[in-house]
Structure 1
């Protein structure tokens, strides 16, 4: 028997409708249903969290497809962390009970989660918004990325002020996303061909499990010539990649959250050992993570060994670590259940 009933809905946001998947628990205790909003990466979709959803029985999971992706692919700009955060807030207001919601973001979704949480982290923030979120759970994303240096040398330091850096979007995309960005301009004759592309990807050498397969199939958009292409809008990817580095909304949220005494400042950061192509170091090199530990003493840092940027949400090791972090954020009772 499944732990959740899954359905997909549409909610009205600026410019159109946002698609939102909701995993509703089939069994839960009395009182409010604990709720997590999961936010996917820059070329992904909400189904990439299906494995984590299964590991959280008794918990409602809200998973929007960010604008310009998957079932929200026809929803155009504006893009950027602020626009996504506003969309996510609509999804939370629509499907969550009153009370605090836990935010969990993977990759770029971590930046969106921080921006959402930042809406309530400032001293002068509206109380209703400020009390809406637990501190975010960031999964290999959401903290400042190292700036790709000129000449291609490896960078391990994040900028002190993201807005001080004049960065070329194409350079950012090539350095951070690499083949993930190239894939968006490709066409595939069939679903099987698309899955074969991922089966040959170095991050998936152990094969595609059900969650990955269903997420990738869901990602495909049919073209007029009966071929397929990845659903993520190139315009959305370009705008979002630049905004992760230079966007004021994210930077302001980061500053507010890390200096706040509210619940939003309780940030958990999980990072993978390997990057998007399963190479070491990961997207966040160990020395960069160490600098974050020193800079933000209240930050909880969890290394997830043996995982790469993708399978941190697919392997048993990765899912267990993420589920444990989310459960800790929801709050455990003495009886082993979850606080409402």
Structure 2
């Protein structure tokens, strides 16, 4: 029997679509819980490879509002809204506390969740996200958003005649030339909504813009990092979004970033980029190893 199922959780403005991997043995109530939060234009299908490596855990991964099958939700977005949605998911599934794992934008959401609802989080795992990005200081807020969203906005405006045409678009992307798999095809195919020949990416641009404005120009992230309430691990990818150097967190910036946040432990993950740190076998191995360690530490803390 498959561990995987989906559920719809009522939140403000509609239902949030949630992927759930139940533990292979034992009952869900007795299993440790892991809440996984995807990136800015991703979905819960960012996480199957990592979930497969945690067969003893209950893994919960929603499509954030404005993405995936949660893309029709109405109302405001932003980091606080996502945090409230995630608490609603935990409540609906009867989960008191979880190890929270966030990739890319999901890492920033994880920090805000931990700040706003500290009792619902045991430990944090930030995957190539969460710490301040390297954005030129002289740019205005609008310029920052244009810099961050430019290529993504172009893709969200595109239309595709077929699923295969969308897969061809991503096959040509330098981040995936070494790591094309059936699981990756399923991830990208899930991203499409609409009908042929007018298929389009599921992410709503207005939601994306609202989230990016909050993440890049708001105060929530700085406040969460200044008052970091939970043991936190950061994993960084060796290469960036286009499989290039420097990475999102360049090696020459990391020492200063980490010294500014001494409560964060760091794991550098080699031979992966910003995407394949979760969407490849070797990336999933590294992430799952850290999550497994964090679950063990959370369990030991409860027993002590």
- TM above 0.5, yes or no, is yes
Q: Name the structure 2 match of 1:112.
A: 109
Tell me, which stretches of 5 or more residues in structure 2 are unaligned?
none
Q: Name the structure 1 match of 2:269.
A: 304
Distance 1:110 1:301 in 2: 14
Question: 1:74-132 deviations in whole A, cap 9, x for unaligned?
Answer: 0133111111111011111212433x300000000000011101124xxxxxxxxx332
Deviation at 1:231, TM superposition (A): 0.5
Deviation at 1:241, TM superposition (A): 1.2
Q: Name the structure 2 match of 1:199.
A: 171
Q: How does 1:131-150 map to 2 (within 5 A)?
A: 131-148=119-136
Q: How does 1:183-198 map to 2 (within 5 A)?
A: 183-198=155-170
Alignment match of 1:53 (pick from 45, 51, 54): 51
Distance 2:94 2:49 in 1: 21
Q: Secondary structure at the match of 2:134?
A: coil
Q: Secondary structure at the match of 1:37?
A: strand
Q: Name the structure 2 match of 1:288.
A: 253
Deviation at 1:235, TM superposition (A): 0.6
- 8 A contact 1:39–1:46 mirrored in 2: yes
Q: Secondary structure at the match of 1:300?
A: strand
Alignment match of 2:36 (pick from 35, 38, 51): 38
State the aligned residue count. Answer: 300
Distance 1:81 1:52 in 2: 24
Q: Secondary structure at the match of 2:3?
A: strand
Spell out structure 1 runs of 4+ moving beyond 4 A.
Answer: none
- 8 A contact 2:68–2:191 mirrored in 1: yes
Deviation at 1:249, TM superposition (A): 2.8
- 8 A contact 1:37–1:62 mirrored in 2: yes
Question: 1:107-164 deviations in whole A, cap 9, x for unaligned?
Answer: 00000011101124xxxxxxxxx332122100001111122455xxxxxxxxxxxxxx
Q: Name the structure 2 match of 1:274.
A: 239
Cα distance change, pair 252–192 in 1 and its aligned pair in 2 (3 A): same
- 8 A contact 1:42–1:107 mirrored in 2: yes
Q: Name the structure 2 match of 1:126.
A: none
- 8 A contact 1:104–1:138 mirrored in 2: yes
Tell me, which stretches of 5 or more residues in structure 1 are unaligned?
121-129, 151-164
Deviation at 1:288, TM superposition (A): 2.1
Q: Secondary structure at the match of 1:297?
A: coil
